Structure 1
Amino acid sequence: MTENENGGHNKDLSLEQRDELLEELKARFEKNSHRHNGLEWDQVQAKLDAHPDKLWSLHEMERTGGEPDVVGYDKENDEYIFYDCSAESPKGRRSVCYDREALESRKKNKPENNAMDMAAAMGIELLTEEQYRDLQKLESFDLKTSSWVQTPPDIRERGGAVFCDCRYGRVFLYHNGADSYYGARGFRGSLRV
């Protein structure tokens, strides 16, 4: 993110950043064809070229260790779907509680940030439990870490939040206080382009 004249941030990538990101995304796309059978990179890149704001979000996913990749195509809406595909929960997004309310409720030892605000600032959404389970059908992720997922409102209203991981060949959904945070728990995001 670059600073603009007003001291704020804009979402423009330099030409060099853009080219590096597209090169990285293309290499990952080609190396992991099992994640997106039947899809062609040229069509994905055309979409990215038409939506530079989405390219910025992908850059943020990449910068924080998410290793985003295409995991599907929504024909009805003509959108490619990217998920974070890093083997473990993205390193640059760990040690965060679930949301701002949880962060503000902590009296001491507050984490630096929260998953919901970070995702919103990046222009992405936390995976839902269903999306997380779909991701795990492609290959095994989070064998040593865990990832916050979107929490149903009735659980969140009671102070909880949910996260998932993969152990013993299965995907597990767990609960925790929304204000909890751990060095091995981050979050995975999704982006539609």
Structure 2
Amino acid sequence: MQRHADAVAGIQREMRNTTREETKSLLEGDDPETAAKAPESSEPAAEQKRELTAQQKEKLFQILQHRFINSPDHYKHRKAINFADVKRALEANPIALWSLSRMEETGGFPDIVAIEDDAFVFADCSAESPAGRRNCVYDKEAGECINTKFKGNAVDMAEEFGVEIWSEEFYRLMQTVVDFDKRTCSWLKTDAQTRSTGDALLGGRNGDHVRVDMFDARDHYPNRGWRGMLRVQKV
């Protein structure tokens, strides 16, 4: 396991070196995952180049394949999946591959967690809420109400990445697979009625207990981020 971790860490370091212009600031903190880069950019999301170079693609495929082979607990039916089919689906969908790279760069460690109909479902599988997405408020409206410094908002980041924020249902399901967020919390997709109160849903784990509660959407802390999921159509 340690050799695998070292190998993946080495690949991630190389990948980050090739994408420095895409992620421009580091999130400081004492968590070892805080080496991940925060998704800040001076370019509007629509103007960013949503395509990886051949070298970046190869490095990302190496990371995904390492994780796919060495983390079978993320999906119990993994043996039925051929990674060559996953790679083929991603090669046919360069925007999805770019989205996965954003998840990876910010410390999400995406992996396949399910198959829905004709799609592979990827999700952030980092033990704690992705380090490069912490200290964020829930959405743009929440950010406009405060003057303190924060690292963007979960809703806009997810849109920029091209992924979905985890729902409460998905969060609870994933918590039955792996114990996530023992020391952190993650913003979850919030319905309009709840959001109208000024709050948003936040998930976390306390021992064996998974909690999803309503918190002020303006809150932002170094241990609070968000998790994403991405469906990639099979080919």
Q: TM-score scaled to structure 2, two decimals?
A: 0.77
Deviation at 1:88, TM superposition (A): 0.3
Deviation at 1:35, TM superposition (A): 1.9
Do the aligned residues in 2 keep the contact of 1:125 with 1:191 (CA within 8 Å)? yes
Q: 2:106, 2:61 → 1: CA distance? A: 16
Correspondence for 1:95: 135
Counterparts of residues 110-129 of structure 1 (less than 5 Å): 110-129=149-168
Deviation at 1:191, TM superposition (A): 0.3
Paired residue secondary structure (1:173)? strand
The percent of aligned pairs where both chains have the same amino acid is 38
Identify the match of residue 14 of structure 1 among 53, 70, 77.
53
Q: 1:133, 1:29 → 2: CA distance? A: 22
Q: 1:20, 1:74 → 2: CA distance? A: 26
Do the aligned residues in 1 keep the contact of 2:139 with 2:154 (CA within 8 Å)? yes
Paired residue secondary structure (2:176)? helix
Q: 2:213, 2:48 → 1: CA distance? A: 36
Do the aligned residues in 2 keep the contact of 1:70 with 1:83 (CA within 8 Å)? yes
Identify the match of residue 100 of structure 2 among 32, 42, 58.
58
Do the aligned residues in 2 keep the contact of 1:147 with 1:163 (CA within 8 Å)? yes
Q: Which letter does structure 2 place at the counterpart of 1:69?
A: D
Identify the match of residue 155 of structure 1 among 181, 194, 201.
194
Q: 1:117, 1:140 → 2: CA distance? A: 27
Deviations 1:39-98 (A, max 9, x none): 2211111111111110000000000000000000012xx100001000100000000000
RMSD, matched Cα = 1.7
Q: TM-score scaled to structure 1, two decimals?
A: 0.93
Q: 1:44, 1:112 → 2: CA distance? A: 32
Q: 2:172, 2:100 → 1: CA distance? A: 21
Say if 2:80 is the partner of 1:41.
no
Paired residue secondary structure (1:155)? helix
Deviations 1:75-123 (A, max 9, x none): 2xx10000100010000000000000000111x2141310000110011
Q: Count the aligned residue pairs.
A: 188
Correspondence for 1:85: 125
Paired residue secondary structure (2:52)? coil
Q: 1:39, 1:136 → 2: CA distance? A: 22
* Structure 1 outlier segments of 4+, above 6 Å: none
Say if 2:185 is the partner of 1:146.
yes
Do the aligned residues in 2 keep the contact of 1:103 with 1:110 (CA within 8 Å)? no
Correspondence for 2:3: none
